[in-house]
């Protein structure tokens, strides 16, 4: 039940984001979602893409620092309170949520989230037990 996130280190300089996106485009990889975390000097670009391994290889070949990280992609009902009730299963444990961001909102009333947990295996086991729908890399690519 694991999805791979592509993380890229970028300095806070003009045009750097554009260069990363150009490399991914040239590799013919589709970007499904992204989150950009920033500090005063650098940023971390986190992406969910159609082919993470291919994009990672292309970025590395172009001199970028990138890596693949295991993340949980959870599909929820797009309605009031569903995020909270889903996270309640994790709240009682010692698992930390390092970061999270939205992936997609679907026509059928579903929304997907990307979550990086401090303990991937444990978090995915707990979530599955609580009935959460976790998406695989293949399912994400089809979104």
Partner 1 sequence: MIWNEKMETMSREEMRALQSERLAATVKRVYENVPAYRAKMDAIGLKPEDIKSVDDITKLPFTTKADLRDNYPFGLFAVPQDDIVRVHASSGTTGKPTVVGYTAKDIEMWSECVARCMTMAGITKKDIVQVAYGYGLFTGGLGAHYGAEHIGAVTVPMGTGNTQKLVTLMKDFGATAIACTPSYLLHISEVMKESGDLSQIKLKAAVCGAEPWTEEMRLQIEKNLNIHAHDIYGLSEVMGPGVACDCEYHEGLHVCEDYFIPEIISPTTLEPVAPGETGELVFTTISKEGLPLIRYRTRDLTSITYDKCKCGRTTCRISRFKGRSDDMLIIRGVNVFPSQVEEALLSIDGVSPHYLIIVDRVNNLDTLEIMVEVDGKFFSDEIKGLEALSVKIGKAVQQMIGLNAKIKLVEPRTIERSMGKAVRVNDKRKLI
Nearer to partner 1, 61 or 88 (CB): 61
Q: How far is the CB of 136 from partner 1 (least distance, A)?
A: 20
For the CA atoms of 96, 34, 52, 129, the dihedral, rounded to the nearest 10 degrees, stands at 40
Site residues (CB under 8 A) for partner 1?
A: 5, 7, 9-11, 16, 37, 39, 41-42, 44, 46, 63-65, 67, 69, 98-99, 116
- For residues 55 and 22, give the distance between their C-alpha atoms in angstroms, rounded to a whole number: 11
- For residues 64 and 60, give the distance between their C-alpha atoms in angstroms, rounded to a whole number: 5
Q: How far is the CB of 66 from partner 1 (least distance, A)?
A: 8
DSSP characters over 59-103? HHHTT-EEEEEEEEEEEEESSTTHHHHHHHHHHTSS--EEEEEEE
Nearer to partner 1, 12 or 28 (CB): 12
Nearer to partner 1, 62 or 104 (CB): 62
- For residues 102 and 115, give the distance between their C-alpha atoms in angstroms, rounded to a whole number: 9
Nearer to partner 1, 6 or 87 (CB): 6
Q: How far is the CB of 77 from partner 1 (least distance, A)?
A: 28
């Amino acid at each position: 039940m694991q999805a791979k996130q592509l993380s890229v280190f970028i300095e806070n300089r003009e045009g750097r984001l554009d260069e990363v996106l150009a490399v991914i485009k040239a590799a013919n990889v589709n970007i499904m979602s992204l989150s950009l975390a920033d500090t005063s000097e650098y940023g971390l670009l986190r992406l969910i893409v159609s082919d993470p391994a291919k994009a990672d290889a292309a970025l590395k070949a172009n001199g970028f620092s990138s890596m693949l990280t295991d993340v949980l992609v959870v599909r929820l009902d797009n309605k009031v309170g569903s995020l909270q009730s889903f996270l309640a299963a994790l709240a009682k444990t010692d698992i930390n949520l390092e970061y999270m961001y939205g992936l997609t909102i679907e026509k059928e009333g579903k929304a997907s989230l990307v979550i990086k947990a401090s303990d991937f295996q444990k978090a995915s086991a707990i979530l599955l037990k609580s009935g959460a729908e976790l998406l695989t890399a293949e399912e994400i690519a089809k979104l």
